[in-house]
């Protein structure tokens, strides 16, 4: 808009000064025509960019601290804090739906993961640009834990109950560290999406229970709730079968005593041979519903979304309710 007004002003000034200023008028004519042409091209370029969203911010144009995100087989760049705009531009009018995408943050390779995390935003995330959401981090070793299709199905079923949280699925490896889950990943997610900094939850496959324990011990304020899914629990249960624990597997609770600051812990189980440790909530479930059961419990442990403070106070952290 400013460029368009500038173009009109340059044209008007050129017309008014066309026959004025004596011999200098020739220089005024040339300068006026060139300036008007440049401003006209700039106005057209800005209008096209706004329509097509090639560069949503100046940082995106200049390449400042970009994140690489892939969704629906399309790859695009996003600067910190601009991911919402990119998701909305590619929602194709379905902004009320949950958005699923591969979150290829600029430094995700340093987290020791097998692949870029998959993020699923709750329905309505794009419709409430002033809301900040809690997060449930799900860690497991695919394909031993669960498949991508099972992840999406569990998240959709949990969201259909009316509870809302951003769900991040991370495929771990032997190189994945607790600090990556406790600090590095949350810090980057906080820049790319509207999420809180406290009272998240973590869901872990049994093989990752010890890693999850260490992560929540390092960031208990962020992860006060943890749920564990026994090894092999996500394997399909034959139709009509009764809820049973996976063959040869015992329910696995969070390793050892609950980490300091953790207020709730749960373990998904079929027909346990023994009661879970003190302080650990048993979550009865069929094997095929194990991930959904754990995810529903974890999301239910997080607070509902709240209105975010203005960006200026949110960045400086000086507002008492800047982040939960």
Q: What is the mean pLDDT of each run of 10 residues along the chain (324 residues)?
A: 76 80 78 84 74 51 44 39 78 85 88 92 88 92 76 84 86 94 93 89 91 89 89 43 34 49 71 56 83 90 75 44 40
pLDDT at 50: 62
**pLDDT reported for residue 307:** 72
CA-closest candidate to residue 195, choices 208, 203, 185: 185
What is the pLDDT, as a whole number, of residue 60? Answer: 47
Q: Which pLDDT score, from 0 to 100, does residue 185 have?
A: 95
CA-wise closest residue to 98 among 146, 42, 147, 163:
163
| Residues in a beta bridge with 226 | 202, 265
Distance CA 308, CA 302 (A): 16
pLDDT at 318: 44
Q: Tell me the pTM.
A: 0.64
């Amino acid at each position: 808009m400013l460029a368009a007004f500038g173009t009109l002003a340059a044209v008007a000034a050129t017309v008014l000064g066309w026959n004025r200023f004596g011999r200098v008028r020739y220089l005024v004519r040339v300068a006026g025509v060139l300036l008007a042409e440049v401003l006209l091209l700039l106005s057209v370029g800005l209008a096209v960019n706004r329509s097509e969203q090639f560069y949503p911010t100046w940082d995106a144009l200049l390449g400042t601290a970009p994140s690489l995100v892939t969704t629906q087989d399309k790859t695009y760049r996003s600067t910190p804090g601009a991911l919402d705009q990119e998701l909305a531009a590619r929602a194709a009018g379905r902004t009320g739906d949950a958005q699923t995408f591969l979150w290829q943050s600029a430094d995700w390779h340093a987290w020791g993961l097998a692949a870029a995390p998959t993020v699923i935003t709750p329905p309505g995330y794009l419709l409430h640009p002033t809301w900040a959401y809690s997060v449930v981090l799900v860690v497991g070793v695919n394909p031993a834990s669960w498949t991508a299709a099972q992840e999406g199905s569990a998240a959709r079923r949990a969201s259909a109950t009316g509870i809302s949280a951003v769900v991040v699925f991370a495929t771990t490896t032997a190189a994945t560290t607790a600090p990556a889950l406790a600090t590095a990943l949350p810090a980057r997610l906080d820049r790319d999406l509207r999420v809180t900094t406290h009272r998240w939850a973590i869901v872990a496959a049994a093989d990752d229970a010890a890693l999850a324990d260490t992560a929540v011990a390092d960031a208990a304020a962020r992860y006060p709730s943890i749920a564990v899914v026994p090894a092999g629990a996500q394997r399909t249960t034959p139709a009509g079968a009764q809820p049973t624990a996976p063959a040869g597997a015992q329910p696995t609770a969070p390793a050892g005593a609950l980490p300091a600051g953790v207020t709730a812990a749960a373990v998904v189980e079929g027909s346990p041979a023994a009661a879970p440790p003190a302080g650990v909530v048993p979550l009865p479930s069929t094997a095929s519903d194990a991930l959904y059961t754990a995810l529903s419990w974890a999301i239910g442990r997080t607070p509902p979304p709240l209105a975010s403070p203005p960006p200026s106070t949110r960045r400086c952290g000086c507002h008492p309710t800047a982040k939960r």
